[in-house]
Amino acid sequence: MIVSDGNLLTLRPGVLILAAAALWLQVPIAARGQTFRTTSEGLNAGHFVLYPSMALEYTQDGNVFYRNQDRPGESIIQSGIYVLRPRILVDLPIGAGRVRWVYSPVYRAYTSEMFRETKRFSHFLDIEATRSGPVVSVRATEHLVRGTIELQEVDRGGEAIFGLVPFTTHSPELEVTVKAGARNGLSLLPRYSAVRFEEKGSTAFFSYRRKEIEARFSRALSEPTALYAYYTLDKTDQEREQILFGDVSLDARTIGVGLRRTLNQEVLTSIAAGYKSIDFRGGSKTDFTGPVLDARATWHIGDDTLLDVSVGRQAYQSFFVNNNYYIDGEARFHLLHQVGQSVYWDVSLAYLNNVYADPLDISVTAATPPELDGDGDGRIDGYEVLAPSVGRRRRDNVYRLQVGAGWQPVRTLRVFIGYNGERRSSNIEQSFAGGVFEPFDYSVNRIFFRIEAGWL
């Protein structure tokens, strides 16, 4: 049955809730506390507690580059993928606080002779320091990624599908909470995000910097449940190709309310609903105003089943031709069921709908250099292949599915085998060699096997 176990929940002894979770189906940027998820007691080294582990995964990927099979002159590349993921978590309790950090380098190798990745290593580092006092509590975090294909780290809504240009992103955050009586609290949360791509001219994404500050007033409804109101200011500076549409900056404001329910430091329910406005400078100059939502809830159904559901609506910056932003709507579903003492299966579903701000426009502007319109037809030559979609407002739909089964005979070893698939459809068409096809439509099927060992 489902019981409490230290820092998180487990099913029957030996099986971790969400051990088989489909990470690619989860909210792209997971809650910071979930990064430090553990089930074992760790290794004591003086005042430190260590959690070393190693994961080995093999995936047979049916469409490495997410290509449309109808695209002329291009073939679908299939490949096996080996991934080696060591991980070390260090926990240092200090009085009323703690410092912990987790580092995980990822080695990835493709078996196909038709594709050789030049950058095989990615690096992930998370740091968290907390201190709780009778009046003031402080939490500071840092999330650092040095990656290539992990574009969900810089594009939460999934506009960018696949890339090979190395990038670095880091996202420090500070939260200072002052208690105002037994139930009330005032919090200030400054945040900063910076993304830098190498080889700027060869990628659809470019660097950007984001500064954000949030003020929050919370009231405890019960020991695990808190209701809060928040107001957020956000300033983002992007870097695009100056010769086409110029750099784009934005100022955003969000006001809303939220609810959080936790158990043993694990978030069981999280709802934040608000109203957001974004003012753009540069690009198409189309501004956004509208509701935003981020909600997630976990339910225990009986003794052996867990259901996790999340929905969201958010406006994200866009780098698609003349668009400043797109609205991303998401719904995610995850069901985990245990069979016996150490076997479990899970099913994950996700649906994403992206709607873009402006109709596609590839016309030259006053700032467009003449050499970009060599044929003099008033359109940017590099985008003329998209002529069939001019005047059309882009809409994308993405469906994802994962099913699989796992076995965890002991706390230090677990095995999982499964299938995941992804389908994307878009209303954008492209002309090529006298024909027309959908450049953003694709389907991917994968079979994978993963084994993890260590202090998990």
Q: Residues 161, 164, 167, CA angle at the centre, nearest 5°?
A: 95
pLDDT tens track for 188-231: 999 999 999 887 655 555 788 999 999 999 999 988 899 999 99
Q: Is pLDDT at 345 greater than 90 in this prediction?
A: yes
The DSSP bridge partners found for residue 324 are: none
**Gap between the Cα atoms of 82 and 66, Å rounded:** 18
- For residue 407, pLDDT over 50 is answered with yes
Confidence of residue 84 (pLDDT cuts 50, 70, 90): very high
Q: What proportion of the chain, given as a percentage, has pLDDT over 70? A: 88
DSSP string computed for 198-223: SSGGGSS---EEEEEEEEEEEEESSS
The CA-CA-CA angle for residues 60, 416, 261, to 5°, reads 120
Confidence at residue 78, expressed as pLDDT on a 0 to 100 scale = 94
Contact present, 436 and 427 (Cβ < 8 Å): no
At residue 144, the pLDDT reads 95
Mean pLDDT (whole number) for 346-370? 89
- Give the dihedral of Cα atoms 271, 276, 281, 287; nearest 10 deg: 120
pLDDT over 90 percentage in the chain: 56
What amino acid occupies position 41? E
Provide the residue range defining the domain that includes 202: 3-454
DSSP secondary structure code for residue 273 in this structure:
E
Structure tokens belonging to residue 327? 């609205």
pLDDT of residue 260 exceeding 60, the answer is yes
Q: Which residues of 290-299 are buried (b: 16+ CB within 10 A; e: fewer)?
A: eebebbbebe
- In this prediction, residue 393 has a pLDDT band, given cuts at 50, 70 and 90, of very high
Residue 284 has pLDDT above 90, yes or no: no
Cβ burial, residue 345 (10 Å; 0-12/13-18/19+): middle
Q: How many CA atoms lie within 13 A of 380 on its CB side?
A: 19
* Position 13 confidence tier, pLDDT thresholds 50, 70, 90: very low
Least confident among 173-187, 208-222, 273-287, 347-361: 273-287
Mean pLDDT of 374-399: 90
What pLDDT does residue 434 have? 64
**Residue of higher predicted confidence among 161 and 417:** 417
- For the domain that residue 161 is a member of, what is the CATH number? 2.40.170
Tokens representing residue 325 in the block: 């932003």
d(CA 150, CA 167): 9
Residue 55 φ/ψ, nearest 5 degrees:
-125, 140
Top-confidence residue, 50 or 284:
50
The pLDDT score that the predictor gives to residue 264 is 61
Tell me the pLDDT band of 19, cut-offs 50, 70 and 90. Answer: very low
Contact 42, 51 (CB under 8 A): yes
Whether 73 shows a pLDDT value over 60: the answer reads: yes
pLDDT of residue 34: 59
Closest CA to 191 of 225, 168, 169, 214: 214
Q: Which residues on adjacent β-strands are paired with residue 170?
A: 144, 194
Work out the average pLDDT over 350-361: 94
Mean pLDDT (whole number) for 378-387: 87
DSSP 8-state secondary structure symbol assigned to residue 430: E
pLDDT at residue 242, as a whole number: 55
Q: Which of 3-12, 49-58, 305-314, 349-358 has the lowest mean pLDDT?
A: 3-12
Tell me what the pLDDT averaged over the chain comes to: 86
Does residue 437 contact residue 386 with C-beta atoms inside 8 Å? no
Residue of 100, 119, 97, 98 lying closest to 108 (CA atoms): 119
Residues 108-155: tens digit of each pLDDT: 999 998 887 778 999 999 999 999 999 999 999 999 999 988 888 888
Q: How many domains does the chain have?
A: 1
d(CA 229, CA 258): 6
Going by C-alpha positions, the residue among 196, 173, 188, 85 that lies closest to residue 127 is: 173
Distances (CA, A) of 123 to 81, 143, 444: 18, 11, 25
Distance CA 15, CA 338 (A): 8
> Any idea which of 39-48, 291-300, 391-400 has the lowest mean pLDDT?
39-48
CA 11 to each of CA 18, 19, 298: distance values in angstroms, whole numbers, following the listed order: 10, 10, 14
pTM for the full predicted model: 0.87
Least confident of 252-266, 389-403, 413-427: 252-266
Q: What is the pLDDT of residue 31?
A: 46
Total number of residues shown for the chain: 456
